[in-house]
Amino acid sequence: MYSIHTSRAGDLESLSALDIISKSKESLGFKQRQQKPKGAQKKEPVRNREKVKIGNLQNNIYMAEKVLKIGIVGYGHLGRFLVERILNEGGEVGLQLAFVWNRNTDKLKDSLPKELILHDLSDFTKRATDVIVEVCHPLIVKEFGVRFLSHANFLVGSPSALSDPQLEQDLRAAAKQHAKTLYVPSGALWGGQDIQKMNDSGTLQALSIRMSKHPSCFRLTRGLLSHWTEGEGRRVLYNGSVAELCPIAPNNVNTMAAAAIAASKLGFHGVTGEIVSDTALADYHLVEVEVTGPDGFSVKTVRQNPAKLGAVTGNATYNSFWSSLLEVQSARVTEGECISAESNGLLQKEHK
């Protein structure tokens, strides 16, 4: 997860998850209690209680002072997954649904209590919300992102929207103005923290990402993949800057957008993206990342993300989003500081 909220330049320091959780209750708002003896009866979780378990580390149980209220914008496969996890496990981990919005509210009526359904997205300000999670389309980020940040912290599930430099600038300004944090989950990106470290140290010289999927998994504009036949094999659809690719494949290249944000000195125009249609990839998406540094330094990673035919989002990305929410909850925003979380457990802290 990347925080692109900038309160004061040069105040960034890296911390490990252990460092954060080991802090005292005075600094992070956690209280510690002794673990119950073995054999003691386990109490059923109480939903919406003020103090809830958020983690178990080295035989100590830490308690969150407050439940994190989550608004979900979008009820496709990923949105439904997050909603169901919060409903089923939120009482255990300190997460509670504030609202759920979908363009077609009929999809929500049979699945959710009516009090959770938000019929008009403009009414989000009427719900007490700590974090708004967008998991539908970049157009929602463009239309509502600034308004979301005036009311709550904002997790952008469609970071391809940030390829618009004016929108990114507006979101940064709104986050700073309202003392909120703009989160960008790493999704299917592997090694994002290392990319960010190289970027910050000035050693990142080039970054390229290739995403290969079955043609049924692409949602492209401009008729780029209007015709294909099963068994046709591999076809390169685009190779060039991520900035130009994002409007062509807004739902397919969020991993590349997350990489461009991590590699901020290269940016969307400096990071190279390639999308490949391959009918042989019936069971997974393939994500290949190549990082280049000085003196011949190079790292290449290949990730297979299991996915069904026609699925825009790979299976591993679902759990990555859930992990990001858990990290945001465990790294509570406390007085005087904002803490954003990587889904791999590494944290960053920015003082206000």
Given a contact cutoff of 8 angstroms between Cβ atoms, the answer to whether 87 and 58 are in contact is no
Residue 3 has a pLDDT of 54
Q: Domain 192-312 - what CATH class?
A: alpha beta
Q: What stretches of the chain adopt beta strand conformation (E)?
A: 2-3, 12-15, 30-33, 52-57, 60-64, 68-73, 95-101, 131-134, 153-156, 182-184, 206-213, 234-241, 272-278, 284-292, 298-306, 337-341, 347-351
State the Cα–Cα distance between residues 72 and 60, nearest whole angstrom.
Answer: 31
Question: Which CATH number among 3.40.50.620, 3.30.460.20, 3.20.20.120, 3.40.50.720 corresponds to the domain 2-27+48-188+316-351?
Answer: 3.40.50.720
Round the average pLDDT of the chain to a whole number and report it.
79
Percent of the chain with pLDDT over 90: 60
**Residue 119 pLDDT > 60:** yes
**Residue 144 pLDDT > 60:** yes
Amino acid letter for position 15: L
Q: What is the pLDDT of residues 148-161, one digit of tens each?
A: 999 999 999 999 99
Q: What is the pLDDT of residues 163-208, one digit of tens each?
A: 999 999 999 999 999 999 999 887 778 888 899 999 999 999 999 9
In 3D space, the residue among 151, 139, 138, 144 whose CA is nearest the CA of residue 177 turns out to be 151
- The whole-model pTM stands at 0.76
Residue 221 has a pLDDT of 86
Q: Which residue has the higher pLDDT, 235 or 231?
A: 235
Strands 131-134, 153-156: parallel, antiparallel or unpaired by DSSP? Answer: parallel
Q: Which residue has the higher pLDDT, 201 or 9?
A: 201
Percent of the chain with pLDDT over 70: 75
Q: Which residue has the higher pLDDT, 282 or 227?
A: 282
State mean pLDDT over 210-230.
88
**Six-digit token pair at 110?**
């049979």
Given a contact cutoff of 8 angstroms between Cβ atoms, the answer to whether 146 and 170 are in contact is yes
Residue 2 has a pLDDT of 56
Check residue 250 and report its DSSP letter: T
Q: What is the pLDDT of residues 20-57, one digit of tens each?
A: 222 222 322 333 344 445 555 544 444 443 333 333 33
Q: Which of 20-34, 55-69, 251-265 has the highest mean pLDDT?
A: 251-265
**Residue 101 pLDDT > 90:** yes
**Residue 113 pLDDT > 90:** yes
State the Cα–Cα distance between residues 66 and 51, nearest whole angstrom.
Answer: 6
**Residues whose CB falls within 8 Å of the CB of residue 6, separated by 6 or more in sequence, listed in order:** 172, 175, 176, 350
State the Cα–Cα distance between residues 317 and 319, nearest whole angstrom.
Answer: 5
Residue spans per domain, the chain:
2-27+48-188+316-351, 192-312
**Residue 13 pLDDT > 90:** no
13: β partners: 349
Among 30-34, 80-84, 132-136, 252-256, which stretch is predicted with the lowest mean pLDDT? 30-34
Q: Which residue has the higher pLDDT, 319 or 100?
A: 100
